[in-house]
């Protein structure tokens, strides 16, 4: 096989395959060039999803007439001049491949007038064949027109989606560019219809809201924190805004949109326990790091980067988001008008027997619908909020009599043996007794684990569990975890495990060892193999807290209700259970007055 030198056209087409994957890639590269040129306004027009026409006009510094031909030459750029520049890149574009690559697979025209020039210049290229520079009339700035993208590489064009899909991707490329440049105005027209118009000179928060959706503004929290050499700024959604996918997460580094596993993992850790595991927070984050501390030259599209110290970036993101979420009031607020729209109507549903019998417990006594047998069936108060151990004298549910900050009354009601209701300064708060107790127990279990392994109690007769798969492999893999949570287990057979000791807490909360261990071992088969030991511990403690917490249907005494409500102030992230479900809802006084047609001035 003979080795030959590739032609310049083929070289550029290969580069185009890496840099220009679809019309949105072309839009991204050209918009970045406009930003690097100092543009204050960038207008984009596309037709047929960008296949037929992509036109980008800016009012930046322009290109000198004697450099127009060079601009279309591979590896020619004004943004690098030495190896040292490559170690600290401060511009969006820098490879010198975009224009040459686009010119090799399209009909390309550039018209530009530089600062101080008397007239504009125009150059055309078709399939990499560059024509002479010609004089033209036009304002300062640059107009790039790309026609018939992929006309000479039809195989690549065949992989494109519908015009609507490609247009949406072009719009997203513009939003990504606009997200960190609120000083610049952007517009997008698709097939003659304007679909995007972002004014310049707005605040970073206003621009971020435009990207995330103006309807989310009231549910966003601003983050602005510097930790070491990393500044983290952005808007993050309250847990209730979590989405089913990560497509509503916008991450930027020094103005450049990126995809980074370390940053994504840090976000997930910050929201751990505030949203359900299969949900993803909505956010826009911009990281500012010294360019010398990051390599943006690891991928042709520059969307992937390599940090010199990814651990420091991970810690900065996780801590900044955690701090903001901790200091915010994350209590979900109930909007009855919005709930009515979703439900279509309000209706009281009868019980299965056809009779609705409200169950309400007041701190101070039972009221309505409880007969003597029901009262007698209440759980032992000593076991509802049982201590971990007498020696350490710590109660998992907390013994505080203090109600949440702003609470106006110490009276607590229990509804349907499931919810607690308490009045506060802003209205009323409804608490899910199981979810809150689960969060309380989770935190105190984690606090105990920081001091050492949990206390365990030996079984008189070992509990035997039949499992699926290799028992020896499963028990060996989980041995360190078992030691920390107070479980002693060994292998009795190929698919049989014997439990000799069990956590004291779970005993006190009457958790069945066989049922618990069976579920724990089954879950170990489904766990992500890359999961860290700390993440695995969190999941197990989640499970322990859920099993041991009071349940819906448990009748609580006055002291137990007050103790549980009092734990709100003492517990981190008390507005969500460890699985991410709300522990409480707030119904404001204003909402109640609106629903009853009252106003503080007109109706007394």
The CATH number of residue 245's host domain is 3.30.230.10
Q: Are 37 and 134 contained in the same domain?
A: yes
d(CA 358, CA 370): 9
Give me the mean pLDDT over the 410-436 stretch: 90
Answer whether residue 553 shows pLDDT above 80: yes
Q: For position 29, which CATH number holds? A: 3.30.565.10
Which residue do the tokens 């018939």 mark? Answer: 148
Q: Are 229 and 146 contained in the same domain?
A: no
The predicted-structure confidence for 427-456, as pLDDT tens digits, reads as follows 899 999 999 999 999 998 999 999 999 999
Pairing relationship of beta strands 220-227 and 496-503 according to DSSP bridges: unpaired
| Burial class of residue 25 (count of CB atoms within 10 Å of its CB; 0-12, 13-18, 19+) | buried
The predicted-structure confidence for 112-136, as pLDDT tens digits, reads as follows 999 999 999 999 999 888 999 999 9
The answer to whether residue 450 sits within a structural domain is: no
The answer to whether residue 111 sits within a structural domain is: yes
> In this predicted structure, what is the pLDDT of residue 407?
44
Backbone angles phi, psi at 156, to 5 degrees: -70, -40
d(CA 434, CA 546): 8
Q: Are 160 and 234 contained in the same domain?
A: no
Q: Give the residue, 368 or 272, on which the prediction is more confident.
A: 272
The predicted-structure confidence for 13-28, as pLDDT tens digits, reads as follows 555 545 788 999 999 9
Q: Are 434 and 394 contained in the same domain?
A: yes
The answer to whether residue 449 sits within a structural domain is: no
Give me the mean pLDDT over the 96-112 stretch: 88
Two tokens at 170? 């072009």
Neighbours of 455 (CB within 10 A): 16
> In this predicted structure, what is the pLDDT of residue 502?
94
Q: Are 286 and 343 contained in the same domain?
A: no
On whether the CB atoms of residues 433 and 562 are closer than 8 A, the answer is no
> In this predicted structure, what is the pLDDT of residue 8?
65
The confidence band for 337, taking pLDDT boundaries of 50, 70 and 90, is: low
The confidence band for 425, taking pLDDT boundaries of 50, 70 and 90, is: confident
Q: Are 232 and 247 contained in the same domain?
A: yes
The answer to whether residue 144 sits within a structural domain is: yes
* Segment holding 438, helix H or strand E: helix 433-451
Quick one: how far is CA 107 from the chain centroid?
41
* Segment holding 46, helix H or strand E: strand 41-47
The confidence band for 39, taking pLDDT boundaries of 50, 70 and 90, is: very high
Backbone angles phi, psi at 108, to 5 degrees: -115, 135
Q: Are 303 and 374 contained in the same domain?
A: no
Longest dimension (CA), the chain: 99
Q: Residue 230 pairs with which residues in a beta bridge?
A: 227
The answer to whether residue 604 sits within a structural domain is: no
pTM: 0.69
> In this predicted structure, what is the pLDDT of residue 87?
53
Expressed as residue numbers, the domain containing 293 is 204-327
Quick one: how far is CA 51 from the chain centroid?
33
Q: Are 422 and 565 contained in the same domain?
A: yes
Answer whether residue 426 shows pLDDT above 90: no
Answer whether residue 260 shows pLDDT above 50: yes
Q: Are 155 and 211 contained in the same domain?
A: no
d(CA 237, CA 271): 10
Give me the mean pLDDT over the 212-230 stretch: 92
d(CA 501, CA 452): 17
Contacts of 25 (CB under 8 A, 6+ apart): 19, 173, 301
Q: For position 577, which CATH number holds? A: 3.30.1540.20
d(CA 153, CA 346): 60
The predicted-structure confidence for 370-397, as pLDDT tens digits, reads as follows 333 332 333 333 333 433 333 333 333 3
Q: Are 539 and 563 contained in the same domain?
A: no
Looking from the CA of 62 toward its CB, the CA atoms found within 13 Å total 20
Contacts of 402 (CB under 8 A, 6+ apart): 566, 569
The answer to whether residue 364 sits within a structural domain is: yes
On whether the CB atoms of residues 384 and 550 are closer than 8 A, the answer is yes
Number of domains in the chain: 4
Q: How far is CA 274 from CA 238, 332, 432, 494, 532, in A?
A: 9, 12, 15, 39, 19
> In this predicted structure, what is the pLDDT of residue 604?
54
Q: Is the dihedral of CA 71, 73, 74, 76 positive or negative?
A: negative
The predicted-structure confidence for 445-496, as pLDDT tens digits, reads as follows 999 999 999 999 999 999 998 887 777 888 888 889 999 999 999 988 888 8
d(CA 100, CA 454): 65
> In this predicted structure, what is the pLDDT of residue 591?
86
Q: Are 426 and 470 contained in the same domain?
A: no
The confidence band for 210, taking pLDDT boundaries of 50, 70 and 90, is: very high
The predicted-structure confidence for 494-503, as pLDDT tens digits, reads as follows 888 999 999 9
Quick one: how far is CA 222 from the chain centroid?
14
Per the prediction, the chain carries an average pLDDT of 81
On whether the CB atoms of residues 578 and 546 are closer than 8 A, the answer is yes
Q: Are 377 and 497 contained in the same domain?
A: no
The predicted-structure confidence for 395-405, as pLDDT tens digits, reads as follows 333 333 333 44
The answer to whether residue 298 sits within a structural domain is: yes
């Amino acid at each position: 096989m003979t080795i030959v030198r590739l032609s310049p056209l083929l070289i550029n087409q290969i580069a185009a395959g890496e840099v220009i994957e679809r019309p949105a890639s072309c839009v991204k590269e050209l918009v970045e060039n406009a930003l690097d040129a100092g543009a204050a306004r960038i207008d984009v027009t596309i037709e047929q999803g960008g296949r037929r026409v992509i036109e980008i006009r800016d009012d930046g510094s322009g290109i000198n007439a004697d450099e127009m031909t060079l601009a279309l030459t591979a590896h020619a750029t004004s943004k690098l001049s030495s190896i040292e520049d490559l170690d600290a890149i401060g511009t969006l574009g820098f490879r010198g491949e975009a224009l040459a690559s686009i010119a090799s697979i399209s009909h390309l025209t550039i018209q530009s007038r530089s600062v101080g020039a008397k007239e504009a210049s125009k150059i055309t290229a078709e399939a990499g064949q560059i024509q002479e520079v010609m004089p033209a009339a036009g304002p300062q700035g640059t107009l790039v027109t790309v026609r018939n993208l992929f006309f000479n590489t039809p195989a690549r064009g065949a992989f494109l989606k519908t015009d609507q899909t490609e247009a949406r991707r072009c719009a997203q490329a513009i939003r990504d560019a606009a997200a960190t440049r609120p000083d610049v105005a952007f517009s997008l027209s698709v097939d003659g219809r304007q679909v995007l118009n972002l004014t310049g000179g707005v605040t970073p928060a206003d621009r971020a809201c435009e990207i995330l959706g103006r309807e989310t503004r009231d549910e966003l929290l601003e983050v602005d924190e510097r930790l070491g050499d990393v500044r983290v700024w952005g808007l993050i959604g309250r847990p209730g805004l979590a989405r089913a996918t990560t497509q509503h997460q916008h991450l930027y580094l020094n103005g450049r949109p990126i995809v980074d596993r370390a940053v994504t993992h840090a976000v997930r850790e910050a929201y751990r326990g505030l949203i359900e595991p299969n949900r993803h927070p909505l956010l826009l984050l911009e990281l500012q790091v010294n360019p010398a501390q990051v390599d943006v030259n690891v991928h042709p599209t520059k969307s992937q980067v390599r940090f010199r110290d990814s651990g420091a970036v991970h810690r900065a993101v996780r801590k900044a988001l955690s701090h903001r979420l901790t200091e915010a009031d994350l209590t979900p607020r109930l909007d009855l008008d919005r709930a009515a729209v979703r439900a279509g109507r309000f209706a009281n549903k009868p019980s299965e027997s056809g009779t609705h019998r409200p169950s309400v417990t007041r701190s101070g006594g039972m009221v309505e619908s409880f007969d003597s047998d029901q009262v007698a069936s209440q759980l032992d108060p000593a076991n509802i909020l049982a201590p971990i151990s007498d020696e350490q004298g710590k109660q998992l549910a907390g013994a505080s009599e203090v109600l949440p900050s702003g609470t106006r009354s110490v009276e607590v009601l229990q509804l349907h043996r499931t919810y607690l209701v308490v009045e506060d300064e802003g209205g009323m708060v409804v608490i899910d007794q199981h979810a809150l107790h689960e969060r309380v127990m989770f935190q105190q279990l984690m606090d105990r684990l920081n001091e050492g392994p949990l206390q365990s109690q030996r079984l008189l007769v070992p509990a035997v569990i039949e499992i699926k798969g290799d028992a020896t492999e499963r028990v060996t893999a989980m041995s360190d975890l078992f030691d920390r949570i107070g479980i002693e287990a060994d292998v009795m057979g190929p698919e049989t495990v014997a439990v000799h000791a069990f956590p004291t807490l779970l005993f006190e909360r009457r958790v069945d060892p066989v049922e618990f261990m069976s579920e724990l071992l089954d879950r170990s088969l489904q766990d992500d193999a890359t999961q860290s030991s700390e993440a695995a511990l969190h999941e197990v403690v989640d499970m322990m807290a859920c099993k041991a917490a009071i349940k819906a249907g448990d009748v609580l005494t006055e002291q137990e209700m007050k103790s549980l409500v009092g734990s709100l102030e003492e517990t981190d992230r008390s507005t969500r259970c460890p699985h991410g479900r709300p522990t409480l809802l707030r119904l404001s006084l204003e909402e109640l007055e609106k629903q009853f047609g009252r106003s503080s001035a007109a109706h007394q």
